[in-house]
Amino acid sequence: MTDQIIKRLLTDYPVLECCAGEVKRVIEEMIALYRRGGTFFCCGNGGSAADCDHICGELLKGFMSLRPVEAELKEKFSAAYGDEGAILAGKLQKGLPAVSLTSHPGYTTAFCNDVDPDLIFAQQLFAQAKAGDILLGISTGGGASNVRKAFMTARMLGVKTVLLTGNKHGRCEEFADIVIAAPERETYRIQELHLPIYHAICQAVEAEMFG
């Protein structure tokens, strides 16, 4: 299924042929992550922060499929809560652990004010991640200092790092285990290619994990 999804991605976006190997590798790493019970984290700024929320949304709930819960669990809900439990269980979907480090304004404003704005992602990762988890950092120019410092922290924790970027080759690349570089230099054009890349990744992971 992964090969089919990548083939369709390249049919729709031939310019991404240069990224195909890295995309497939990220898919394989994420499948392995979820099979061992790990957590996916992501971070970025501006439009890339919105992309982080988007990615986590595709992982936490059904993306291309509804991912219904098992019949045994549905029966437990029904036994505990009656008809309301049956309705609840019928709407719940299996999810994959995913944390957008951009989505905690209370923490972010406090840490920016009290400590260091440049470490807002690094601190969250340090508090929550464990060895073997994955951090995706999105930086169109590849030079976002807060993403780079999150990568530095990840390396110390044994967390694998993936950089989703453009072809400007910023400093974040030095600290990333895998680099997916969309072949564009203008920010908005890089972002336009990031969306089909991460949609393909989420689709392939979902297909493998849930069928």
> For 100-138, how does the pLDDT look when each residue is reduced to its tens digit (9 = 90+)?
999 999 999 999 999 999 999 999 999 999 999 999 999
Closest listed residue to residue 176, CA positions, set 151, 211, 201, 141: 151
Please give the backbone phi and psi of residue 69, each rounded to the nearest 5 degrees, phi first: -75, 160
Name the CATH superfamily housing domain 2-66+95-210: Glucose-6-phosphate isomerase like protein; domain 1 (3.40.50.10490)
Mention every residue, 6+ apart, whose C-beta is less than 8 A from residue 95.
59, 60, 61, 67
Residue in the structure block whose two tokens are 């209370």: 106
> Whole-angstrom distance between the N-terminal and C-terminal Cα of the chain?
9
Tokens describing residue 188: 């908005």
**Is 190 within 8 Å of 184 (Cβ atoms)?**
yes
Q: What pTM was computed for the model?
A: 0.96
Residue in the structure block whose two tokens are 């990548």: 6
Tokens describing residue 183: 């072949």
pLDDT at 81 over 90: yes
Domain range summary for the chain, segments of one domain joined by +: 2-66+95-210
Tell me the C-alpha to C-alpha distance, in Å, between residue 6 and each of 25, 27, 54, 72, 202.
Answer: 11, 10, 20, 35, 11
Mean pLDDT of 22-47: 98
Length of the chain: 211
Q: Which amino acid is at 65?
A: S
Per-residue model confidence (pLDDT) at position 211: 85
User: Using 50, 70 and 90 to split pLDDT, how confident is the model at 11?
Assistant: very high
